[in-house]
């Protein structure tokens, strides 16, 4: 822990790109027009080879690093990873954060006005998939004049997008950073998602997804979904260490008010989330997770599904992640090794659970930095002007660490 004292990309401004060419979705429906909101950090080099796209997970967005001038406390969700001198070094890379279609942070989604009706899409917004997101992201890369990405990086659902990029656009991606992901959801993963969705759709304030028109928000359902999700993002050990069985009072209260500290924490997180997140987006994101299964069309053969890929792969998992355990990352690694792809695998010892991919962990960031350094060398960015400083430790001592940590299975 401890990169927070490092430099930030500073104040950033979101941008919007409008697309008028219809996007045909996997669901069979078509988005006639749409907008994507995005941010960029660093500078695109002359040969446009140093771009890294960051894909977000369930509740993330385009605000990946830095802060807003009018809201300096609104720090990007991966600010500890991305910035000058950080693991993904914006002094060398041009980094792009984008909000996915169906999201609620500014890209076209359920809360957007459907030009056909003049009303918010609401329940009418089509279900979108990881493939659809990747297709829409590729168009944004076209718009930015980026033919080939140096890398696509993401954790969890974001890692799935990085993986999908290597299949859909093998010529347009040099390296995929697939972190805390899985090649497809397990039955248990789907089960948890369905409980979350049922909590939302059964909330009387959901109104079949058109709650905007009723001036309501299905806050109860969204809160429950977030509380449940939160449990699965953290390891049992971490929950135990952070909250234990601590209660508000000395003895037991013998009522149903908030009593254990963990209840207080979860309900607070749930309430906070329900105030800012869109319920339809939550449904869309969880369905995209459920549907992701690149090997489905090749009869479950992931190596076959990944056959078109030409990228180098950085795959990382966290020891205490029980949502997408290390075994799920190893499935990806196994398939890549079977297909003779270039792959570096890091199984990172971290206590936090699934959320570890978002957290400020020196060891983790050094491993990513080492891999990113190799990517930089490959595209001819030359050696770094000065050694990277991560958590106060010179990167030099870490040379080749990424390779040492894994490299296959």
Torsion angle of the four alpha carbons 56, 58, 60, 62, in this order, in degrees rounded to the nearest 10: 50
Interface with its own copies by CB under 8 A: which range of 79-87, 148-156, 259-267, 336-344? Answer: 259-267
Residues 201-220 touching its own copies, rule: CB under 8 A, are: 201-202, 204, 220
Helices (H), 16-113: none
| Cα–Cα distance, 85 to 83 (Å, whole number) | 6
> Which H or E run contains 31?
strand 30-31
Chain centroid offset of residue 39 CA: 15
Binding its own copies (rule: CB under 8 A), the pick from 242, 272, 399, 404 is 242
Annotation-wise, does 174 bind a ligand?
no
Per CB under 8 A, does 198 bind its own copies? yes
| Cα–Cα distance, 321 to 60 (Å, whole number) | 19
- Please tell me what DSSP assigns to residue 99: P
Binding mask 119-158 for its own copies (x = CB under 8 A): -------xx-------------------------------
SS3 state at 12: coil
Question: What are φ and ψ of residue 43, in 5° steps?
Answer: -125, 135
Min dist CB 322 to its own copies, Å, is 8
Tokens of 17: 């790109």
Per CB under 8 A, does 178 bind its own copies? no
Query: 175: closest CA among 394, 399, 375, 377?
Result: 375
Per CB under 8 A, does 250 bind its own copies? no
Q: What is the CA radius of gyration of the chain?
A: 21
Residues 8-67 touching its own copies, rule: CB under 8 A, are: 26-29
| Cα–Cα distance, 40 to 38 (Å, whole number) | 7
Annotation-wise, does 323 bind a ligand?
no
Binding its own copies (rule: CB under 8 A), the pick from 17, 44, 239, 307 is 239
Interface with its own copies by CB under 8 A: which range of 262-270, 303-311, 329-337, 388-396? Answer: 262-270
Give the count of residues interacting with its own copies (CB under 8 A).
Answer: 50
Per CB under 8 A, does 271 bind its own copies? no
Structural contact between residues 284 and 110, judged by C-beta atoms closer than 8 angstroms: yes
Q: What residues act catalytically?
A: 156, 321, 354
Per CB under 8 A, does 272 bind its own copies? no
Per CB under 8 A, does 298 bind its own copies? no
Interface with its own copies by CB under 8 A: which range of 31-39, 96-104, 194-202, 336-344? Answer: 194-202
Min dist CB 326 to its own copies, Å, is 14
The DSSP bridge pattern shows strands 312-318 and 175-179 to be parallel
Beta carbons within 8 Å of 200's beta carbon, 6+ residues apart: 206, 218, 221, 222, 224, 225, 279, 282, 283
Nearer to its own copies, 300 or 408 (CB): 300
Residues engaged in binding its own copies (CB under 8 A)? 26-29, 126-127, 184-188, 190-192, 194-195, 197-199, 201-202, 204, 220, 223-224, 227-228, 231, 236, 239-240, 242-245, 252, 254-256, 260, 262-263, 266-267, 270, 283, 287, 290-291, 293
């Amino acid at each position: 822990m401890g990169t927070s004292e490092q430099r930030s990309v500073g104040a950033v401004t979101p941008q919007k790109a409008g697309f008028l060419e219809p996007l045909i979705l996997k669901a069979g429906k078509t988005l006639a027009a749409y907008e994507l909101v995005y941010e960029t950090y660093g500078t695109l080099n002359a040969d446009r080879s140093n771009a890294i796209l960051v894909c977000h997970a369930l509740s993330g967005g385009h605000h990946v690093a830095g802060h807003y001038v009018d809201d300096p406390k609104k720090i990007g969700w991966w600010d500890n990873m991305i910035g000058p001198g950080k693991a993904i070094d914006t002094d060398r890379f041009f980094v792009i954060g984008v909000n996915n279609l169906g999201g609620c942070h500014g890209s076209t989604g359920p809360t957007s006005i459907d030009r056909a009706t003049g009303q918010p899409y609401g329940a009418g917004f089509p279900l979108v998939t990881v493939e659809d997101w990747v297709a829409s992201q590729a168009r944004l890369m076209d718009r930015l004049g980026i033919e080939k990405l140096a890398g696509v990086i993401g954790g969890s659902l974001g890692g799935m997008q990085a993986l999908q990029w290597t299949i859909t656009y093998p010529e347009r991606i040099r390296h995929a950073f697939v972190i805390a992901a899985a090649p497809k959801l397990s039955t248990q993963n789907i089960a948890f998602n369905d409980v979350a969705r049922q909590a939302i759709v059964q909330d009387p304030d959901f109104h079949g997804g058109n709650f905007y028109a009723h001036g309501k928000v299905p806050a109860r359902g969204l809160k429950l979904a977030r509380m449940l999700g939160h449990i699965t993002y953290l390891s049992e050990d971490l929950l135990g260490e952070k909250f234990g069985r601590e209660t508000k009072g000395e003895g037991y209260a013998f009522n149903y008010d908030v009593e254990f500290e963990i209840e207080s924490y979860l309900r607070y997180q749930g309430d906070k989330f329900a105030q800012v997140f869109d319920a339809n987006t939550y449904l869309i994101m969880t369905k995209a997770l459920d549907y992701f299964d690149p090997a489905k069309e090749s009869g479950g053969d992931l190596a076959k599904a990944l056959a078109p890929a030409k990228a180098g792969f950085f795959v990382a998992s966290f020891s205490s992640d029980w949502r997408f355990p290390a075994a799920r990352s190893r499935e990806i690694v196994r398939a890549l090794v079977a297909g003779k792809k270039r792959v570096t695998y890091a199984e990172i010892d971290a206590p936090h659970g699934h959320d570890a991919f978002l957290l400020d962990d020196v060891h983790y960031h050094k491993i990513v930095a080492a891999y990113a350094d190799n990517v930089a060398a490959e595209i001819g960015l030359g050696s770094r002007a000065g050694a990277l400083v991560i958590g106060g430790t010179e990167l030099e001592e870490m040379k080749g660490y990424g390779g040492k940590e894994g490299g296959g299975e």
